[in-house]
Amino acid sequence: MSGGAGAGPAQGPAAALCTALARQCCALLRDTYLPRLEQSLAGIKAADLWWRPHPDTTSIGNLLLHLEGNVRQWIVSGLGGAPDRRVRESEFAAQQGAEAPALLAALTATIGRACEVIERLPPARWTERVTIQDFEVTVLAAVLHIVEHFSWHTGQITWIAKLRKGAGHGIAYYDDDALNAARNAGDAQAPAGAPRLAP
């Protein structure tokens, strides 16, 4: 982020904020969303991976292909300069394909490449305007887009996986007992009125 109109390259707090933002976005993709997908898809059957409630919606497999394509197009190509040859409609047209480990491996590889691009963005680039998939956006908007887009579809995938695995699915991203214990411990120690963030 620049320091304002007419300012030179970001320095000091602005540059530190860019670094922190890049790290946080990559941490969400790599260390939060991907592990959640891995947990929700552990042991899922191929039939459930490619199951669609009706032809006008998507399967988990489609969503995994779609996430991979989105991150590749917006970050690896859009910001990193790799050729963009994404075929978006094929991501949704597929009715069968690889099993979950292969789909997750492809997604993980693309996330790795994307994070290399994001973490190397110089501060001055965050306010630069770029055109990706026919949208003119800032680099900041492009990075935020892929993070929120990934979160959105991770939730959908999780819900479908719970549905298809049925009762006792075992998918849980938080340990409620541990959270409650931490809250109760905090209540005893925190000063009155201290703010607290819930996950």
Partner 1 sequence: MAITKVWVEPGCISCHFSEDTCPAVFEVLDEGAVVKPGADFSKHEAAIREAADGCPVQVIKFEET
The CA-to-CA distance between both ends of the chain, in Å, stands at 28
Say if CB 129 and CB 136 are below 8 A apart.
yes
Q: Closer to partner 1 at the Cβ: 113 or 162?
A: 113
Both tokens of residue 169?
A: 């699915």
Q: Quick check: 85 binds partner 1 (CB under 8 A)?
A: yes
Site for partner 1 in 109-138 (CB under 8 A): 109-110
Least Å from the CB of residue 76 to partner 1: 9
d(CA 51, CA 41): 13
Q: Residue 199 Cβ, how far from partner 1 at the closest point, in Å?
A: 31
**Measured from the CB atom, is 1 or 103 closer to partner 1?**
103
x/- map, 16-55, partner 1, by CB under 8 A: ----------------------------------------
H or E stretch covering 131: strand 129-132
Nearest to 69 by CA among 102, 34, 107, 115: 107
Choosing from 14, 29, 34, 72, the residue that interacts with partner 1 (CB under 8 A) is 72
Q: Can residue 64 be called a binding residue for partner 1 (CB under 8 A)? A: yes
Q: Which residues contact 138 (CB under 8 A, 6 or more apart)?
A: 126, 127, 128, 129, 130
Token pair 């900041």: residue: 140
Residues near partner 1 (CB under 8 A) are: 64-65, 68-69, 72, 83, 85-87, 90-91, 93-94, 96-98, 102-103, 105-106, 109-110
